[in-house]
Amino acid sequence: MTRLRFVLKDVKYDAFSSGALGKGITFKLDNDFVCAPANGKITAMFPTGHAFGITTKEGVEILVHIGINTVNLKGKDFDVLAHHDDEVRAAQPIVKVDRKAIEKQGYDLTTMLIITNPNNKQIKLKDNGKVSVGTVLN
């Protein structure tokens, strides 16, 4: 399973590309599953399934936002597989998306992974390229 990875500033969504929500990276999905980026607890799950948050044991807060303006789908074509307060493992599927249906409706499924509480820590992410689920990005 390989995904193309891009720097956050290249995404066409100002709230993310500006860095206002934190540092991060984007992905182009190559299958219908969005997986946990780290071991932790689901601390936020939007009812629409288009976004979720995970907090690691170390206190790192990670936001995963699936697609651009996909909140407008109101949960259609998103199947939530994990729920608020669930303990999850890195690479565990969290949301199943119907990529073909969503893209057919004209939505961009660029997926953003944001560290929302960097707490003045130096966060360096690898450059653009291909990555597989489970690859360490820092």
Q: What is the pLDDT of residue 121?
A: 60
| Cβ contact 131:5 at 8 Å | yes
CATH fold of 2-120, please?
Answer: Glucose Permease (Domain IIA) (2.70.70)
Q: What is the pLDDT of residue 138?
A: 42
Q: What is the pLDDT of residue 19?
A: 75
Q: What is the pLDDT of residue 74?
A: 97
Please list the rounded mean pLDDT of every run of 10 residues in the chain (138 residues): 58 75 84 92 97 93 94 97 96 96 96 84 53 49
Q: What is the pLDDT of residue 137?
A: 44
Q: What is the pLDDT of residue 120?
A: 61
Active-site residue, 65 included: yes
Which of 50, 65, 83, 84 is labelled catalytic?
65
Q: What is the pLDDT of residue 132?
A: 55
Burial (0-12, 13-18, 19+ Cβ within 10 Å), 114: buried
Taking the C-alpha atoms of residue 119 and residue 14, their distance in angstroms, rounded to an integer, is 22
Q: What is the pLDDT of residue 125?
A: 53
